[in-house]
Amino acid sequence: MFYTIGYQGLTVNDFINTMKFHGIGHVFDIRSKPYSRKKDYNREPFRALLQSAGLQYSWVGDRFGGFGEIEERDVIRLADLIKHDHELGKTYCLMCMEAAVNQCHRKDLAGRLANYGTDFIHLEKGDLFSEKKKELSEKQLTIYDQIEVEHIKAVERSAGFEPTLQGGSL
């Protein structure tokens, strides 16, 4: 099993959090040219940032980039590696720039890899772990906690008990 992702619109911090959230330990950069207007996504700074976060990075755009022919023997080797390492608990992610998978060559590459017995998930907006998403989840949890406390108080009142919960905390 492996994942694919396009970093377009993501901060590097959100990218790293997404990798960790999904248990991904190794990023394969499949950009033909591993450079970006976002300097943190240029090959060497990006490698350093991922490594400092405990993630491995490999640029493989010379064999799997979107501007050249991708050899079938390379696809087979990569599929074998993904299957073998998945059995050992390692998970990979193919990364390119384009966020929309339907507009990126990683969709075709993932399909070719699937022909050799690998499963994959394309990470898209709803799957991404971001600080904003975390913040919203915490706010939702806080609202849920408040609703739960009010519900408990109401049940206690209807049963003739004085509410035991104080100040909205359990």
Q: Which residue has the tokens 């904003």?
A: 132
For the chain, the domains span 2-127, 130-170
Pick the CATH number of 2-127 from 1.10.10.10, 3.40.1010.10, 1.50.10.20, 3.40.50.11900: 3.40.1010.10
One digit per residue, the tens of pLDDT, for the chain of length 170 reads 999 999 999 999 999 999 999 999 999 999 999 999 999 999 999 999 999 999 999 999 999 999 989 999 999 999 999 999 999 999 999 999 999 999 999 999 999 999 999 999 999 876 766 555 555 555 554 555 555 556 556 655 666 655 444 444 43
69 three-state secondary structure: coil
Q: Which two tokens stand for residue 111?
A: 């399909």
Residues in CB range of 105: below 8 A, 6 or more apart:
30, 65, 66, 96
- What are the tens digits of pLDDT across the range 109-146? 999 999 999 999 999 876 766 555 555 555 554 555 55
The alpha helices in 38-123, defined as continuous H runs, are: 43-52, 61-64, 72-87, 105-114
Query: Where would I find the beta strands (DSSP E) of the chain?
Result: 2-6, 26-29, 56-59, 92-96, 120-122
